[in-house]
Structure formats: structure tokens, C-alpha cells
Amino acid sequence: MTAYAMDDLEPNPFDERVAPTYDAGSAHMFEPAVLGPTVDVLYELAGDGRALELAIGTGRVALPLAERGVEVHGIDFSEAMVAQLRRKPGGDRLPVTIGDMSTTRVGSGYRVAYLVYNTITNLLTQDEQVECFRTVAAQLAPGGSFVVEVFVPQLRRMPPGQTAVPFHVGRRHVGFDTVDVVTQRCVSHHFVRTEGDTDAGGRGVATYSTSAHRYVWPSELDLMARIAGLTLRDRWADWTRAPFTADSSSHVSVWTKAAA
């Protein structure tokens, strides 16, 4: 069992309370060593075509990709996160549709569509995840690619009886998951310290938030892709295209739609 009931979670973990500090809590994802290879891969896959980002959020990936000349469209269900995107230079020029990424269609002929930073797991049922693949496939151009970056469940790190495992420990952010292996549901718990904020005793203040996920195995994603008419082309351990191995804690997978 998880340590927290699903009904106890915020209905929208990316609301007005979380959105303003989201980038600070994910500062490690903005590091050039992380973001640079991400944009490089997507730029190559987009070619001279358009890109579609599902769960575009605050524009961490979309903005630098657009700066390189790629026309980027976005989908996100959180108006608060998109409001943060709009405040950034160039953010007001990106077309973004508010909607559910598993069912929302905004166009067709995209050369690449992508889901980064584990966001596929925000869809909490297998049916929703399958439908996401179908929705994306319908919007891709012939020969287009769907790219997903997601963690590999680290169940081998959990001895019998343990239900929690950390996924990031940093100066400003600490995160751990509580896991239910029966339902493939996990809850991510985030503690983010805001720079300069202190309590009456001069101690640092941290905000706490939770988000629910359905973890998914690489082979399961491959089957979802096949159902949607997509074929696995590449799988790497990360955006640097390092080989994916049994010890990889994450993967970047690329599925393609058949050419006309």
C-alpha cells in the first residue's frame, strides 16, 4: 500500500500554488548538460517540420527548441503552468491548447511529438496512456516520431515491506515516491525550499506538494505504440543517446509512424 491515499492528493498538482515554484524545484532539469542534448535530439527529429509538446508546462523545452527555428505547438491541462510560460520571453508566441493530452487533438502533420520528464505517468490508467499514443499517432505526419522520456521503475531498490524510494535529493529539492506495485500507482512527494524564505526562527521554508503517477515499463510502452500503429526506432538511457541497459534508471524512446 502507498503511504498516502489517492483521494488525499491535490486534484491538480500543478495549480496556482505549485506553478510559480515549479522551475525552481526542477532547476537540475535546466542544466545545459540536461537541456542541451534534449533540444538537440528534438531539433534533429523535427527537421523542417513542426513539433508538438504534450504537457508543455512552463516551456523548459519548448522555448529553446523554438529559438532554434522549430515551430512548436503545445498542450497542457494546467492554466497556471501555461501562465508561467507566457511570462517568459517568447512564451506569448507559442500556440498552446488547454486540454487533456490523452484526447486533445490540435492539428496534424507534426514531424515530432514529445513527452518529457516522466509526464506520461501523469495519466493514471493504462487506458489513458494507450489513448495518448493513439491521439499522438493521429496527429503525426507519415514518418513522424513520438518521443517519450520516462523513468524505469526502480522496484529492485525496494526490499520486501518497503514502500518508498527517493528519486532526487538536492539543495533545494527533495523528492521520493511511495509505490503500490499491484496497481502500478505511485505518489511523488516534493519538498522545495524557496531561496531567501525563512520562518520566524530564521530557518529555511519548504513547500510540500504531491502528484500521482502510473509507472509504466518500456515493453508496455512498446505495446501501446504498436496498438497506435507506431514502431520502436530507438531507445537510449538518456538524451545523450547512451546505450539503454538493464541498469538504466530512465529511457528516451522514439517510435515512428509508417511513411506514406
Instruction: Note whether 199 and 98 are same-domain residues.
Output: no
Instruction: Note whether 240 and 144 are same-domain residues.
Output: yes
Choice between 2 and 117, residue whose per-residue pLDDT is larger:
117
Phi, psi of 114 (to 5 degrees): -150, 150
Instruction: Note whether 239 and 111 are same-domain residues.
Output: yes
Chain centre distance of CA 91: 19
In the chain, the number of structural domains is: 2
Please state the rounded mean pLDDT for residues 196-221: 78
Domain assignment present for residue 3? The answer is: no
pLDDT tens profile 115-154? 999 999 999 999 999 999 999 999 999 999 999 999 998 8
Instruction: Note whether 178 and 189 are same-domain residues.
Output: yes
Average confidence score pLDDT of the chain: 88
Please, are residues 54 and 34 in contact by the beta-carbon 8 Å criterion? no
Instruction: Note whether 54 and 133 are same-domain residues.
Output: yes
Instruction: Note whether 170 and 54 are same-domain residues.
Output: no
Domain assignment present for residue 133? The answer is: yes
Cell of 9: 492528493
Amino acid identity, position 231:
T
Q: According to the model, what pLDDT value does residue 193 have?
A: 77
Domain CATH code at residue 225: 3.40.50.150
pTM, 2 dp: 0.85
Q: Of 187, 184, 183, 163, which is closest to residue 175 (Cα–Cα)?
A: 187
Instruction: Note whether 227 and 112 are same-domain residues.
Output: yes
Instruction: Note whether 231 and 121 are same-domain residues.
Output: yes
Q: Which domain holds residue 191?
A: 155-213
Q: According to the model, what pLDDT value does residue 6 have?
A: 42
Domain assignment present for residue 78? The answer is: yes
Please, are residues 58 and 22 in contact by the beta-carbon 8 Å criterion? yes
Please state the rounded mean pLDDT for residues 206-227: 91
> 165-186 burial string, b = 16+ CB within 10 Å, else e?
bebeeeebbbbbbbbeeeebbb
Choice between 6 and 65, residue whose per-residue pLDDT is larger:
65
Domain assignment present for residue 105? The answer is: yes
pLDDT tens profile 150-206? 999 888 777 888 888 888 888 778 888 888 888 999 888 888 877 666 655 666 667
Assign 3-state DSSP to the chain and report helix, strand, coil percentages, each to 5: 30, 35, 40
Q: Of 79, 102, 41, 32, which is closest to residue 60 (Cα–Cα)?
A: 32
Mapped onto helix, strand or coil, the DSSP state of residue 191 is strand
Instruction: Note whether 209 and 241 are same-domain residues.
Output: no
Instruction: Note whether 76 and 126 are same-domain residues.
Output: yes
Q: Kindly indicate the confidence band of residue 258, based on its pLDDT and cuts at 50, 70 and 90.
A: very high
Instruction: Note whether 179 and 78 are same-domain residues.
Output: no
Give the integer Cα–Cα distance in Å for 11 and 144.
Answer: 34
Instruction: Note whether 107 and 141 are same-domain residues.
Output: yes
